[in-house]
Chain A
Amino acid sequence: MSEAFQSKHVLEYPGGYTRSVGPVIGRFLTGLRDGRLVAVRTPTGKVVVPPTEYDPVTSESVGGADADFVEVGPAGTVTTWTWVHKVRPGKQPLDHPFAFALIRPDGADTAMLGAVAASGPEAMQTGMRVVPHWNVNRNGTLRDIAAWVPLPEGAAIPEAPARPLVEGEAPVTGVVQPIRLDYTVTAGAALTRYLEGLAQGKILGGRSPNSDEVYAASRGTDPKTGDPTSIEVEVADRGAITTFCIVNIPGLSALAPPVPFVSAHILLDGANNTFFGLIRGCEVDEVRMGMRVKAKWADVLKPDHTSILHWEPTGEPDAPYESYKDYI
């Protein structure tokens, strides 16, 4: 058996997820844009920063837009920290070694996570005083604080630098959250074997020793019993359309063909399962349940699904409904 195929896979919503933040977190983010730390006083009297819409212990509402907002800090005290020796550029707040710290701004009862730009771990200590180093261009995200920096004893607390005024600027109501996950996907033994078959112009299926049912593009097990489909079977590259739809919506995905196109369930001769296939080679309104189709193979065969370009009519008489009625 050959080694299973692997492929890179990126999962990323184009443009990033849009988060509406509501009136309480919105007030905090608007404060960051103004170069201020805004907290909320909860019904139990705690001053929470970043503010939550509810008391973190009792879950009671803080009152939404009418909550008791208070400005805290900007100086604060490190309550605990860890040193990041090796940074991952572009993926962490700073591109040189730094400390992740929990910082309790003056006047607040809670600590918030921040990156402290210190000269080294020997310059860090629980209880040390820090202040935000604000970016000049701020847009209402946590990144408006470039980093926290140590505040020497007796030193003045620096003000946030003025940012260019924007006429009629509205409070912050949302953020964009890009999320990207990089995977390595392994095809597994059964699928790898199927893909190798495609490269030879063959459609391979599998059958379990205890079953008379053949699964084209088997996943390696019989879905009814869990038995391994260990007996390899070649099925025909032709079969019958059991049912289908005509897709008229363009751009459902980057891979979708131009509309209108027909997406059909195809039951291959010798197989006992159907799968989706793109029908070409006739007008969409000529496609019928029972229509016989065959694979249109690519000129260059590869061990992937691009080896079958689409399915097209064979011209044979339609399959009788009885022959495929149990496959819809």
Chain B
Amino acid sequence: MGANLAAVVGVGQTKHRSSRKDVSMAGLLREAAMEALADAGMTWADIDAVVIGKAPDMFEGVAMPELYLADALGAVGKPMMRVHTAGSVGGSTAIVATKLVTSGIHKRVLTVGFEKQSESNATWGLSVPMPFSAQLAAGAGGYFAPLIRGYIYRSGAPRNTGHVVAVKDRKAALRNPKAHLHIPDISLEMVEASPMLWDPIRYLDTCPSSDGAMALVIGAEDVADASAGPVAWVHGMAMRSEPTMFARRDQVNPLAGRACAKDLYTQAGITNPREDFDCAEVYVPFSWYEPMWLENLGFCPEGDGWKLTQAGATAPDGDIPWNPSGGVLSSNPIGASGMVRFGEAAQQVRERAGDYQVELKTGRTLGHAYGGGSQFFSMWVVANHKPSS
């Protein structure tokens, strides 16, 4: 944290869909941005700086979004920058925006993450053969499925653990009108009957491909104090990265994720995440990543993540709900997905989560994103009260 406090004072989000052919890319971002401005009681003129993030450029073929979007996002005559950390970008973009406030540089920063995936194909974007490298070109699932197999072997988790998450998050999404996937009759049987894509990952264990945008307005302490609506105070922010490959790298339980969580918890005074948070919005693009990240984020000892999932601890009515919004498994506008996690965590402590609001006890929640080959991590803790100094 910097020397100054910051809070989320406005949140805006599109309804996520497989395709938004009715809007331009700028129009999609503006939907989320204008909703966030209205929520914050602000106009474009009130904003001091704009920070945007999106997924890798090949995904939608826009290499310099900051150039194309400056006037669309109210950045004329103001600082604007773009953040780029693969799938974790939504989280790291929110953190960069917030640091512009905690550093004392700006008072009101607009940050937007987006994806218009329908303009191309993410699997193509991830599988472009490069000269001189041996390519097995098996897509994102082909990258993560062996790691999931490694987790299952290590932990002895029952084979249906992923399916339990796949059902839980889709049921949760039914309460979130902005979620992409609404599958009213989702069941374990349906997941188990879905095609095996990358053994051990079945079709319904995977996230959808979505068009969507997420926007936050970050305010300084005096801005947040003066806000008419509830705010989410930022209690900690952390980012870590590590190479895709190094000798004896733990790819199932990456060091960078553990180190990031440790730093975050120290900042926010978290000693027992399972008790200290009211819920967590965690980047789970393949269902098995819930038990894997439960361990990586210290919600339980290593090897026990699946036990929490199987016991229902992470369900909306469990003791530590994970992804009450439906999570990435229900909406995945990749460049926005991390910011959606951060923003949903904020909405919970603002008691703005509608039908998927959790009960607030500690008033603190976790937002999390990861990207690349489990190599970029960004996380924050937000609360309904100021950090104690």
Roughly how many angstroms separate A254 CA and B137 CA in the complex, as a whole number?
Answer: 8
Docked CA distance A278–B135 (Å)? 10
Tell whether, in the assembled complex, residue B247 and residue A245 are in contact, meaning their CB atoms are under 8 Å apart. no
- Of all chain B residues, which has the CB nearest A173? B21
Which residue in B26, B137, B149 is a CB contact (below 8 Å) of A252? Answer: B137
Interface string of A40-60 (1 = CB under 8 A from B): 000000000000111011111
Q: Once the chains bind, are B135 and A53 in contact (CB under 8 Å)?
A: no
Q: Is the CB of A245 within 8 A of B146?
A: yes
Check B30 against A61 for contact (C-beta < 8 Å). Answer: yes
Residues of B within 8 A of A247 (CB): 138, 142, 197-199
Decide: A278 and B136 in contact? CB cutoff 8 A.
yes
Q: In the complex, what distance in Å separates the CA atom of A22 from the CA atom of B21? A: 8
Question: At the interface, yes or no: B3 with Cβ under 8 Å from chain A?
Answer: no
Chain A residues, CB < 8 A from B150: 242-243, 289, 328
Contacts of B246 in A (CB 8 A): 222-224, 273
Interface range for A? 35 or more
Q: In the bound complex, do residue A56 and residue B136 qualify as a contact, i.e. CB atoms below 8 Å apart?
A: no
The one of B72, B118, B141, B245 in contact with A223, judged by C-beta atoms closer than 8 angstroms, is: B245
List, in ascending order, chain A residues with CB within 8 A of B61's CB: 13, 17, 177, 179
Let me know if B197 and A248 touch, CB within 8 A. yes
Cα distance, A215 to B123, chains bound together (Å): 28
Tell me whether A53 and B149 are in contact (CB under 8 A).
no
Q: Is B228 engaged at the interface, CB distance under 8 Å to the other chain? A: no
A56 in contact with B76 given A13-B120, A248-B197 (CB within 8 Å): yes
Whether A59 pairs with B71 at a CB distance below 8 angstroms is yes
Q: Are A17 and B146 in contact (CB under 8 A)?
A: no
- Bound Cα distance A61, B198 (Å): 45
List chain B residues, Cβ under 8 A from A245.
Answer: 138, 141-142, 145-146, 148-149, 198-201
On chain B, the residues within 8 Å of A31 by CB distance are: none
Q: Please, how many residues of chain B have a CB less than 8 angstroms from a CB on the other chain?
A: 66
Known contacts A59-B72, A61-B30; A328 and B135 CB within 8 A of each other: no
Contacts of B129 in A (CB 8 A): 253-255
Known contacts A177-B61, A305-B133; is A244 also within 8 Å of B149 by CB?
yes
**Which of B23, B45, B73 is within 8 Å of A22, CB to CB?**
B23
A265 to B200, CA, bound (A): 15
Residue of A nearest to B251 (CB): A328
Q: Is the CB of A22 within 8 A of B24?
A: yes
Report whether B20 and A20 are in contact in the complex, using a CB–CB cutoff of 8 Å: yes
Stretch at the interface among A4-12, A95-103, A115-123: A4-12
A277 → chain B, closest Cβ, in Å?
A: 8
Least CB distance from A39 to B in Å reads 16
User: Are B247 and A213 neighbours in the complex by a CB distance under 8 Å?
Assistant: yes
Chain B residues with Cβ under 8 A from A7's Cβ? 131-132
Residues of A at under 8 Å CB distance from B? 5, 7-9, 11, 13-14, 17-25, 52-54, 56-61, 173-174, 177, 179, 185, 187, 191, 195, 213, 215, 222-224, 242-249, 252-256, 263-265, 272-278, 289, 304-305, 308, 321, 325-328
A-B pairs with beta carbons under 8 Å apart, 8 shown: A8-B131, A18-B119, A53-B26, A224-B246, A242-B150, A246-B198, A277-B134, A327-B249
CB-CB nearest 10 A-B residue pairs: A245-B145, A253-B137, A7-B131, A246-B199, A272-B247, A328-B150, A22-B24, A17-B61, A59-B74, A223-B246
